[in-house]
């Protein structure tokens, strides 16, 4: 009998100890010192970056985006999965599908094809575009009012294109024929070209449009445009930016000046531009990302941001090579 009582007491003691060891009645996860967010109380984020192609403008936008996020969240709290599509829209699709499978916290899409691929890939993960001229055109939104809605917003590289058109006659007042050159595969280039063409034709200039399919025919198309026009206009166009040296190798010997849509193209082959800072719009995109990730803002209500301060700039070397005097009010492009 005494053995039975002793055994019963031992069992009761073990049950009591087990109960004391499992006193987390709230069912909340227990914090562990394993270096993760549960131990430190801080949150880490993974951000996928899909950049269409490597060139000066897009590189600057990506750098501005990353700088703004690291400054706000801390380098230890963010991981960037940065990938470049080498100018191929299909590769953009592959990249963003990988981000979706990975379950990243946010996607930054740098340039229109990257934005289009990301928007087609997910309705849930927040997507911020940058270096996109017209979100309405890119995403086929009728009567676009500045807010995309859903899981998409971002920044635009749009400038007053009528002012770019006016620069042609400001620098070359006797011009009668202008050729507009861009890649046929970039819908935002079409938007810019249409506005500039209409503005120049309203001023009495004859305008002809020349398009190239990819880098393989850019030199030949440029040569034809140079042979038929006194001045060329090249809008903000990623393929043209990537081929600026090839364009310059044709246009400069032909003595034909180019008004460019942005500073990177102008630096490579243009004589003047009205351009935004791509680093600045990249930073603005990063600041939007911080607000989304921390819950401070709802992406579905965030308006697309445009740089309000484009600057007139000129290429000193090309101006001197073509013996062109640039009017007052233009800043030299820094090397």
CATH number at residue 293: 3.40.50.2300
At 22 the pLDDT is 41
Q: Are 231 and 256 in contact (CB under 8 A)?
A: yes
Same domain, 269 and 282: no
The model's pTM is: 0.82
Torsion of CA 183, 184, 188, 192, to 10 degrees: 80
- pLDDT (tens digit per residue) in 70-102: 999 999 999 999 999 999 999 999 999 999 999
HEC assignment per residue over 269-296: HCCEEEECCHHHHHHHHHHHHHHHHCCC
Instruction: Say whether 137 sits in a helix, a strand or coil.
Output: helix
At 42 the pLDDT is 64
> In angstroms, rounded to a whole number, what is the distance separating the alpha carbons of residues 321 and 276?
25
Same domain, 214 and 322: yes
What does the DSSP 8-state code read for residue 149? Answer: B
Same domain, 232 and 138: no
Query: Which residues have CB under 8 Å from 265's CB, separation 6+?
Result: 57, 234, 236, 237, 240, 241, 244, 258, 273
Same domain, 195 and 127: no
Q: Residue 31: inside a domain, yes or no?
A: no
Q: Are 44 and 69 in contact (CB under 8 A)?
A: no
Same domain, 229 and 264: yes
User: CA 314 from chain center: how many Å?
Assistant: 24
DSSP codes of every residue in 176-244: -EEEEEEETT-HHHHHHHHHHHHHHHHTT-EEEEEEESSTTSHHHHHHHHHHH-SEEEE-S-HHHHHTH
Q: Residue 5: inside a domain, yes or no?
A: no
Instruction: Say whether 254 sits in a helix, a strand or coil.
Output: helix
Q: Residue 24: inside a domain, yes or no?
A: no
pLDDT band for position 334 (50/70/90)? confident
> In angstroms, rounded to a whole number, what is the distance separating the alpha carbons of residues 266 and 333?
9
What is the extent of the structural domain holding 184? 161-275+311-332
Q: Residue 98: inside a domain, yes or no?
A: yes
Same domain, 288 and 194: no
Same domain, 99 and 226: no
- Average pLDDT, whole number, for the chain? 89
At 335 the pLDDT is 74
Q: Residue 22: inside a domain, yes or no?
A: no
Q: Residue 9: inside a domain, yes or no?
A: no
Same domain, 149 and 239: no
Same domain, 128 and 57: yes
Q: Residue 173: inside a domain, yes or no?
A: yes
pLDDT band for position 316 (50/70/90)? very high
Same domain, 236 and 150: no
- pLDDT (tens digit per residue) in 23-37: 433 333 333 233 333
Q: Are strands 45-51 and 78-84 parallel, antiparallel or unpaired?
A: parallel
- pLDDT (tens digit per residue) in 155-170: 999 999 999 999 999 9
- pLDDT (tens digit per residue) in 169-192: 999 999 999 999 999 989 889 999
Q: Are 210 and 225 in contact (CB under 8 A)?
A: yes
Q: Residue 32: inside a domain, yes or no?
A: no
Same domain, 230 and 95: no
Instruction: Say whether 60 sits in a helix, a strand or coil.
Output: helix
Q: What is the mean pLDDT of residues 254-278?
A: 97
Angle, helix 89-102 to helix 112-121, in steps of 10 degrees: 40
- Alpha helices by DSSP H, 74-142: 89-102, 112-121, 135-138
Domains: count for the chain: 2
Same domain, 326 and 202: yes
Instruction: Say whether 146 sits in a helix, a strand or coil.
Output: coil
């Amino acid at each position: 009998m005494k053995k039975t009582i002793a055994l019963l007491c031992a069992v009761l003691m073990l049950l009591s100890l087990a109960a004391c060891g499992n006193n987390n009645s709230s069912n909340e996860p227990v914090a562990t010192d394993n270096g993760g967010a549960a131990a430190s109380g801080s949150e880490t984020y993974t951000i996928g970056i899909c950049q269409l192609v490597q060139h000066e403008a897009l590189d600057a936008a990506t750098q501005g985006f990353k700088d703004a996020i690291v400054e706000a969240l801390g380098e230890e709290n963010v991981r960037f999965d940065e990938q470049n599509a080498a100018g191929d829209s299909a590769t953009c699709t592959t990249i963003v599908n990988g981000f979706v499978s990975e379950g990243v916290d946010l996607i930054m899409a740098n340039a229109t094809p990257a934005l289009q691929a990301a928007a087609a890939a997910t309705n849930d993960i927040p997507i911020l575009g940058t270096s996109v001229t017209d979100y309405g055109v890119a995403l086929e939104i009728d009567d676009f009012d500045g807010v995309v809605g859903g899981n998409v917003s971002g920044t635009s590289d749009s400038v007053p294109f009528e002012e770019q058109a006016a620069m042609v006659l400001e620098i070359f007042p006797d011009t009668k024929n202008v050729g507009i050159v861009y890649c046929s595969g970039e819908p935002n280039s079409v938007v810019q070209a249409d506005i500039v063409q209409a503005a120049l034709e309203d001023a009495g200039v004859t305008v002809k449009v020349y398009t190239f399919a990819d880098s393989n025919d850019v030199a030949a198309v440029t040569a034809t445009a140079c042979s038929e026009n006194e001045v060329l206009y090249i809008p903000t166009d990623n393929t043209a930016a990537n081929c600026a040296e090839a364009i310059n190798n044709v246009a400069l010997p032909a003595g034909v000046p180019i008004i460019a849509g942005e500073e990177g193209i102008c630096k490579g082959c243009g004589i003047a531009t009205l351009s935004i800072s791509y680093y600045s719009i990249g930073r603005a995109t990063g600041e939007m990302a911080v607000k989304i990730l921390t819950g401070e803002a709802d992406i579905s209500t965030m308006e697309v941001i445009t740089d309000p301060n484009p600057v007139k700039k000129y290429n000193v070397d090309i101006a001197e090579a073509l013996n062109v005097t640039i009017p007052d009010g233009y800043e030299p492009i820094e090397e």
